[in-house]
Amino acid sequence: MEKSNRIMFYDQISRNKRNSIFLIIAIFIILILLGFVIGYALGPDYFTIVMILAIIISLAYIWTGYYYSDKIALASVKAKPADRTHHRSLYNAVESMSLASGLPMPKVYIMEDPQINAFATGRDPKNAVICVTTGALEKLNKDELEGIIAHEMSHIANFDIRFMTIVVVLVGMISIISEIFLRSLWFSGGRGDSRDGRAQIVFILIGVALAILAPIVTMLVQLAISRKREYTADATAVKFTRRPTGLINALKKIQHDHPMKNHKISKSVAPLFLSDPFKKKVQNVFSTHPQIEKRIAVLEKM
C-alpha cells in the first residue's frame, strides 16, 4: 500500500509545470477579457491608446527587471560575494549540484541573516546567482546544504526567473491598463462615443468592476504560480541529489527556526527565497510559499 502512494519526482515536476502553464493562461484570458470590455466601453481609439501606454511601460519594466534582477535582489539584502577559502563547504555544495544538474557554476553570495534560507536569481543559467544566509551555513550539515542548493539550482534549470518575469509583466500590464481605464473615465466623465447608449453604460460598469477586480485576481494567480514553482523546484532538487532526505531535513530545521522580529528583507524579494522569510504561521491565498509541512509530506513520498 505504501509503495502505491509513492510519488515519482518526474510526475511531480510535470504536474506542477502543467499547473503553472494553466495559471498563466488564466492571466492571458483576464487580460483579453479586460481589453475587450474596455474596447467596447470606450471605443477602439481609447483602447489603442491604453494598450500602447501599457506596452511601453511594461517593456521598460521587463527590461529593467530582466537584466538587472540579480543586482537589485542582491543589493536589497546587502549580499556579498562568498569567499572560496572561508566558505569552502558552500562552494563544494554549489559545484557538486552544478555538475549534477549540468548547469554552469553560478556566482555565489552570502547574506547576513541568522535564519536558514537561500535564493537564486539571474536571467538565465549563464548569468545565475545563488545567495545563502549565514544561518544556513551555521545550522545545516553537508547533505542539508546540498539539498537547499539543489532546490535553488532547480529554479535556474527550470528558467523560473524568466517564467516569473513574464508573469509579473502580464500582471503589471493588467494593473496599468486598469489604472489608465479608471483615470480615463474620471477625466472624460464616463463618456465614450454615443453608439448604443445603454449597452455602452453596461460595458462601462463591467469595465469598472473588472478594472478593480482584475489586478487583485491576477495577483492571486501570480502567488499561486509562485507556490507551484516551489513544489517543482523541490521535485527537481530530488532529481539532482537522487535522494530527498537532505532537503527534507533542511526544511524541518527551517520549520523550527525562530522568526526574526525586525526583518530587513524586502517583501518584494520574499518570493525568491527557499522559504517565506517572514514565516507566516498560516498559509492563505496571499502566501508566496506553500506550507513547509506540505512540502515535507510530498518529499517524503518520493
62 — pLDDT class (breaks 50, 70, 90): low
Residues 6+ apart with CB under 8 A from 96: 146, 149
pLDDT score of 102 more than 60 = yes
Give 133's strand partners: 111
Q: How do the domains of the chain map onto residue ranges?
A: 3-77+159-300
Q: Each residue of 173-228: pLDDT tens digit? A: 777 777 777 776 665 554 444 445 565 576 667 767 777 777 787 778 778 878 88
pLDDT score of 36 more than 50 = yes
231, 244 contact by CB (below 8 A): no
pLDDT score of 281 more than 80 = no
Looking at residue 105, the DSSP 8-state letter turns out to be: P
Give me the mean pLDDT over the 133-142 stretch: 94
pTM above 0.85, yes or no: no
Grid cell 541573516 in the structure block, residue: 113
Ordered strands of the 107-111 beta sheet: 80-81, 107-111, 129-133, 118-121
On the 0-12 / 13-18 / 19+ scale of CB atoms within 10 A, 212 is: exposed
Choosing from 152, 179, 230, 293, the catalytic residue is 152
Is 95 noted as a catalytic residue in this protein? no
pLDDT score of 46 more than 60 = yes
The percent of residues in the chain predicted with pLDDT above 70, rounded, is 71
Per-residue pLDDT at 234: 93
